[in-house]
C-alpha cells in the first residue's frame, strides 16, 4: 500500500506532532498511520482513496454510520441557535429534553441526569456521588469500591481504581487508590456440565462473601452489565446482575451499571440491565449516546440518591464542576440519536441484524480449528484464537486493513461491534474478510 508523496509528508507531520492514544508510538515505524479523509455510512475513506469497513464503530461510538444526515442536520440547526452555555445557574432545551427522555427510557427509575464529556469522568462522578451519598447519610466509612476481575471503567486516576487491566494500570499504581476485585461471572469459566448461570451463581457467592465482611466500608459495586468490553468481550449470564442487585440491597451498597459500552441498544435492549429486569442506583452512558458525534457522558440516578443531596447546605450538594457540562451541541446529537431509535424501531431491527451477523460469522470462522468461544450478545460478536502467534493482534489489524476492514483485536480475542446500519452485503463482507485476515495472520 503506497501513499502519494503528499500523504507521506502528512503522515510524518502527524507522527511528529500528535501523540496517539493507546499506542506505543515507535510501533508506527512499521505500522503506518491511516489518514482518514471522510466517512460515509459504515465506511471510512483514506486520503489515498482506499476504503475500510468500520467493524468496531470507531471505538464503539458510531451507531448509525459516519456523516449521518439526520444527526448532521440536527447539529447544524443547533449550531445556529446555541452552541454552548454554562449549566451552573442556566439551563436550555436540549439538556432538559434529553434528561426527560432518558428518564422515560428507564421507566423513571433513574430520573436525574448529571452530565460530563467522557466515560472515565462519568465513572468518577458516580464514585464521588456514591461516597458523598453515604457521607450525607452519616456513614463516611463507606468509601471503598468493588469491581469485577477484568473490569474496565476508564483510565483517569480515579477511574483506574476500578479498572482491572494490568497494562493500563501498573505504571500508575502508586497514584491509584486500590479497590477490591471479585471474580468475574465470565461464562467461559463454566466447567463441564455447568451453565453460564451456574458460573454467575458462583461469582455472586464470592461477591457475597466479600460484602459480608466489608459492607461497612463499601460504597458501591461497579459492573459492566452483560459484557466486559475492554478485557476482551467477556460475556456473562444476566442472573449475575439479578443476584448482585439483591446483594447490594441486602448489604446497603450502591450498584453502578457502567453502560458506556453496552448501552444504547448494543446488547439487544436499550439498556443492558433491562435483560436482567433490574435497575442500578447509577447508570453510566457515553460512547454511543451521541451517535459518535461529540463527547458526552451522563450519570443517571434515582430520586433517593438525589434527595440525599437536597439541602440548604452547599457542602451537602454534589460538587463536581466541568466547563462543558451539558453542552447543547452534544445533547442535540444525543437527541437526534434517540430520534433514530424511536423512528426506525432500532431495537427490533437490531435483532434481525444481529441474527444475520451471527450466521455469517458461524459460517465464516465457526469451524476454524483455532477459533474458541465464538460468542455474541446483540451487536457484539467475539471469538478467541487459540495458539495465536506472538504479535497476533497487530498482525491481524494490518491484515484486516489490507482487506478493507477495520478490526482491532484485544490480545487474542477478535471482535466486531459494528454500526447498526450494516446491510446484508456488508455483514457478509465483514465476516468473510475477517476470516481471510485470520487465516493470513496465523500463516
- Residues lying near ligand PLP in the complex (CB under 6 A): 118-120, 123, 152-154, 224, 229-230, 258, 260-261, 286-287
When the beta carbons of 122 and 336 are compared against ligand PLP, the nearer one is 122
- Work out how close the CB of 59 gets to ligand PLP at its nearest, in angstroms, rounded to a whole number: 7
When the beta carbons of 115 and 152 are compared against ligand PLP, the nearer one is 152
- Work out how close the CB of 283 gets to ligand PLP at its nearest, in angstroms, rounded to a whole number: 12
Map residue 331 onto helix, strand or coil: helix
- Work out how close the CB of 183 gets to ligand PLP at its nearest, in angstroms, rounded to a whole number: 18
Measured CA to CA in angstroms, residue 381 lies from 260, 389, 417, 426, 435 at distances of 17, 22, 7, 15, 14
When the beta carbons of 119 and 291 are compared against ligand PLP, the nearer one is 119
When the beta carbons of 56 and 253 are compared against ligand PLP, the nearer one is 56
- Work out how close the CB of 170 gets to ligand PLP at its nearest, in angstroms, rounded to a whole number: 18
When the beta carbons of 120 and 248 are compared against ligand PLP, the nearer one is 120
* Cell numbers representing residue 103 in the block: 428518564
Q: How far apart are the C-alpha atoms of 410 and 114, rounded to whole Å?
A: 31
When the beta carbons of 56 and 360 are compared against ligand PLP, the nearer one is 56
- Work out how close the CB of 98 gets to ligand PLP at its nearest, in angstroms, rounded to a whole number: 18
DSSP string, 19-70: --TT--GGGGGTSPP--EEEEEBTEEEETTS-EEEETTHHHHT-SS-BT-HH
Instruction: Give the CA angle between residues 74, 80, 84 to the nearest 5°.
Output: 90
Closest residue (Cβ) to ligand PLP? 119
**How many other CB atoms sit within 10 Å of the CB of residue 167?**
8
Q: How far apart are the C-alpha atoms of 158 and 129, rounded to whole Å?
A: 13
Query: Among residues 51, 111, 119, which one has the least CA distance to residue 300?
Result: 111
Check the CA dihedral 328-333-334-335 and report its sign. positive
Contacts of 81 (CB under 8 A, 6+ apart): 328
- Work out how close the CB of 251 gets to ligand PLP at its nearest, in angstroms, rounded to a whole number: 24
Amino acid at each position: 500500500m503506497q501513499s502519494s508523496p503528499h500523504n507521506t509528508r502528512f503522515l510524518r507531520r502527524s507522527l511528529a506532532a500528535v501523540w496517539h492514544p493507546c499506542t506505543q508510538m515507535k510501533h508506527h515505524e512499521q505500522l503506518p498511520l491511516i489518514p482518514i479523509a471522510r466517512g460515509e455510512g459504515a465506511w471510512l475513506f483514506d486520503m489515498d482513496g482506499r476504503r475500510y469497513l468500520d467493524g468496531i464503530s470507531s471505538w464503539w461510538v458510531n451507531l448509525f454510520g459516519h456523516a449521518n444526515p439526520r444527526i448532521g442536520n440536527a447539529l447544524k440547526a443547533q449550531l445556529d441557535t446555541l452552541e454552548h452555555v454554562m449549566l451552573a445557574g442556566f439551563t436550555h432545551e436540549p439538556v432538559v429534553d434529553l434528561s426527560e427522555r432518558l428518564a422515560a427510557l428507564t421507566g423513571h427509575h433513574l430520573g436525574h441526569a448529571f452530565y460530563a464529556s467522557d466515560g472515565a469522568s462519568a465513572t468518577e462522578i458516580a464514585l464521588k456521588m456514591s461516597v458523598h451519598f453515604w457521607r450525607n447519610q452519616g456513614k463516611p466509612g463507606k468509601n471503598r469500591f468493588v469491581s469485577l476481575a477484568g473490569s474496565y471503567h476508564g483510565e483517569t486516576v480515579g477511574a483506574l481504581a476500578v479498572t482491572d487491566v494490568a497494562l493500563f494500570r501498573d505504571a500508575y499504581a502508586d497514584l491509584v487508590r486500590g479497590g477490591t476485585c471479585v471474580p468475574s461471572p465470565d461464562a467461559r469459566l463454566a466447567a463441564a456440565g455447568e451453565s453460564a448461570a451456574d458460573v454467575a451463581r458462583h461469582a455472586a457467592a464470592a461477591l457475597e462473601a466479600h460484602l459480608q465482611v466489608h459492607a461497612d466500608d463499601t460504597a458501591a459495586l461497579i459492573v459492566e452489565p452483560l459484557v466486559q468490553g475492554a478485557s476482551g468481550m467477556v460475556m456473562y449470564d444476566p442472573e449475575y446482575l439479578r443476584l448482585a442487585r439483591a446483594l447490594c440491597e441486602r448489604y446497603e451498597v450502591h450498584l453502578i451499571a457502567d453502560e458506556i459500552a453496552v448501552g444504547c441498544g448494543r446488547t439487544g435492549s436499550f439498556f443492558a440491565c433491562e435483560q436482567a429486569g433490574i435497575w442500578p442506583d447509577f447508570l453510566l452512558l457515553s460512547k454511543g449516546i451521541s451517535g459518535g458525534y461529540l463527547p458526552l457522558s451522563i450519570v443517571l440516578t434515582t430520586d433517593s440518591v438525589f434527595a440525599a443531596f437536597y439541602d440548604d447546605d452547599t457542602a451537602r450538594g454534589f460538587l463536581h464542576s466541568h466547563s462543558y457540562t451539558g453542552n447543547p451541541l452534544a445533547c442535540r446529537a444525543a437527541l437526534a440519536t434517540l430520534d433514530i431509535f424511536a423512528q426506525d424501531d432500532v431495537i427490533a431491527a437490531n435483532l434481525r441484524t444481529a441474527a444475520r451477523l451471527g450466521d455469517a460469522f458461524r459460517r465464516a470462522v465457526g469451524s476454524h480449528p483455532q477459533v474458541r468461544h465464538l460468542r455474541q450478545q446483540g451487536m457484539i460478536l467475539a471469538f478467541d484464537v487459540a495458539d495465536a502467534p506472538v504479535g497476533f493482534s497487530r498482525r491481524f489489524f494490518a491484515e484486516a486493513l489490507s482487506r478493507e476492514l477495520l478490526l482491532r483485536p484485544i490480545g487474542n480475542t477478535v471482535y466486531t461491534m459494528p454500526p447498526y446500519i450494516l446491510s446484508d452485503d456488508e455483514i457478509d463482507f465483514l465476516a468473510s474478510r475477517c476470516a481471510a485476515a485470520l487465516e493470513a495472520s496465523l500463516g
